[in-house]
Structure 1
Amino acid sequence: MLCEVVFRTEDLPGADRFDFWCERIGRTHAPLDFHSDHAADYRAHQRVLELGAVHMWPTTHQSLTYRRTPRLIRQSDPESFHIGIPLKGNNRVAFDDQKAVYGAHTIGVFDSSRPVEVTCANGADPFQGIGIEVPKALLHLPRHKTDQLFARAIPGTDGMGALLVQFVTRLAADTSAYQPCDGPRLGTVLVDLLSALFAHTLDADRALPPETRTRALVHRIRAHVQRNLHDPQLTPTTIAAAHHISTSYLHRLFQGEDETVAAWIRRQRLERACRDLADPSLCATPIHSIAARWGFTRAADFTRAFRGAYGLPPKDFRHQALRAATVH
């Protein structure tokens, strides 16, 4: 039998079950924030199959929402992809101001380096699904290509998607025919299937209408900016280069928006700095450190931009926000 670790919340006292489950998933995948209406007596079951550097985990659990937040990403990032496949129930996903619902046998791809919120639910019944954790470095595709797959719904009922779903469900159903030494070999097969599926999905993009490809490109650009706001070198020039387009074409893509690319980047940075300045848990963090965290390398530039956007300097804004938080 393959090397397998089994975890059941029923083996624990009722009051401890949800916290242990959250800790367990955090170790299996990456640190997450959790919420469930069933937290008082949580019922869940997980098996972790060790396939070399790849881990596959069939799971059954009560409804649950988890969030991968920017703060958790800064704290710890395993640089992995998580592939989620609901078998009974669905995943409701929120990311980059987008929302989607992935039904049974729909393959979702998530990145440990990107924020996302996922609710796993199956009405009043337990949710069932399979998660796969694979290091990014193992996939046989350029990084700028795999970025295009984030939070994307890939059908798992036909074609390449069905091959993947059939492989993982059959493996999860019965591991008795395998020995522990087969684990890395099966992991290699799984990585090859994922790489083939991703390549097939990306090739299919070429058949889409031009306007659809354009909208997808704008979405990828926005997601790229959100991930790299901390980088002071994030400019229209570097963004265009990262997406293999000219700077002039980048500006044309944003002509229909309310602001230029540079103005949008500045607003995103200021909004995140504003949020951090108002966060009581960050009250001891120097203002210049928060500014640098969001790409402002010069304190004077940050103060000027912040005052222009919010009508008062960062120090006064923080004071007012923290005082208001204390009152409430």
Structure 2
Amino acid sequence: MLVLDTDDLPATDRIDVYRATAIDQGGSCSIEPELDERGRFRMRLQAWQFGPVGLFANFGSGMRYLQTERDLRRDHWSSISIFNQATGDGGFIWNDTERRLTSDDLAFACKSARYWESRWSNTGENVGLQLRADQVGLPEDLIRDAMPLAGHSSLTPLLLTQLRSLRADADRLSAGPGVEAIGDAVVELVRAVIASVTGSAPVRRAVAEETRFVRIVTYLTVHLTDPDLTPARVAAVHNLTLPALHRLFHAEGLDVQEWIAQHRLEGARDDLASHAHSHRTIADIGRSWGYIDPTSFTRGFRRAYGLTPGHWRRLHREMST
């Protein structure tokens, strides 16, 4: 959802309005804008809410976004912020540690820092997540100690992929029926990342066990369109036997193969009804959701919805005219 586009404002008001909007969205902060080659500050701020998790995206000319001890003391709530420099030349500072931030990195910050800063130069997009620290259910000192290490966790690429997926389809997902569940899954992933890099071995094992199902569902969601996504592959990636994977899903009242088929068909159904995909063939849409065989796609679609993919598409075209 678009929160602010400074192109809609007089040049003299842009910085002040953006600063006020950023504080309203993310808490007390300091902002130092970088003007473009024409001496202008341009920024487009978007924000979405997924239950307990906020997603934001800033696109425009460079800037420094920082929180000093004074800024941090002003906020009455403790938060965790996670940043990715989707495009542009970025950097991040956490207390005394400075690092370059690229599209393949995540940087983590929380209110217990003495100082933290996210910045980029020239035109770029900075994307991130924000949630309350108490939602992850871990001690504050453990969260604080994890911040400079979390970007190197073996689970961070999974969280990065989730962030990219949310950003790519934020408008639709944030308005959908599963918005709370998406946010809860992100919280569990953040919890798993933090626990994986700090705390005692029993804590790490306990959190890994508690978040295993969420991590597997996230993996399934990310790889849903892969034709070779099978329960056997999922089990191998997560160091489980196939029977153990099935037991894990059965405990949640689910079947892993049915979960894959259901969510693939839902994605294909939405694409078939969307005007944005009207130029694509039915077979192409089926393939894009992992159905290599058109006959198998049609059979599964009819079994799930009582209509063929072609009938479903025609029905929605008639409704939109």
CA distance in 1, matches of 2:172, 2:59: 23
Q: What SS does structure 2 have at the residue aligned with 1:89?
A: strand
Residue correspondences, number? 199
SS at match of 2:151: strand
Give 1:15's aligned residue.
12
Q: For structure 1, list consecutive stretches of 5 or more residues without a partner in the other structure.
A: 207-328
Change (3 A) 1:67 1:196: same
1:190 shift after superposition: 0.7
Q: Is the 8 A contact 2:94 2:109 kept in 1?
A: no
**2:57 equivalent to 1:58:** yes
The residue that corresponds to 1:196 in the other structure is: 192
How far residue 175 of structure 1 moved from its aligned partner, in angstroms, is: 3.4
Aligned in 2, Cα 1:32/1:200: closer, same or farther, shift over 3 Å?
same
C-alpha distance in structure 2 between counterparts of 1:41 and 1:56, whole Å? 26
Aligned to 1:82: 81
Whether the 8 Å contact between 2:69 and 2:115 is mirrored in structure 1 is no
| TM-score between both structures, scaled by the size of structure 2 | 0.55
Q: How far does residue 155 in structure 1 lie from its aligned partner after superposition?
A: 4.4
Distance in 2 (alpha carbons) for counterparts of 1:153 and 1:164: 11
- Structure 1 moving runs of 4+ over 4 Å: 203-206
Gaps of at least 5 residues in structure 2 are 203-321
Alignment CA distance shift 1:205-1:152 (3 Å): farther
Secondary structure of 1:154's match? helix
Q: 1:164 aligns with which of 151, 159, 162?
A: 159
Corresponding position: 1:145 with 2:142? yes
TM-score (norm 1): 0.54
Q: Distance in 1 between matches of 2:185 and 2:72?
A: 29
What SS is found at the alignment partner of 2:178?
helix
The residue that corresponds to 2:91 in the other structure is 92
**Percent identical across equivalent pairs?**
17
Q: Any conservation in 2 of the 1:93–1:116 contact (CA below 8 Å)?
A: no
For residue 165 of structure 2, what is the amino acid of its counterpart?
A: R
Per-residue deviation, 1:48 = 0.6
Evaluate the alpha carbon distance shift between residue 89 and residue 45 of structure 1 in structure 2; reply closer, same or farther with a 3 A threshold: same
Q: 1:19 to 1:31 in 2, by over 3 A?
A: same
Distance 1:5 1:204, change over 3 A: farther
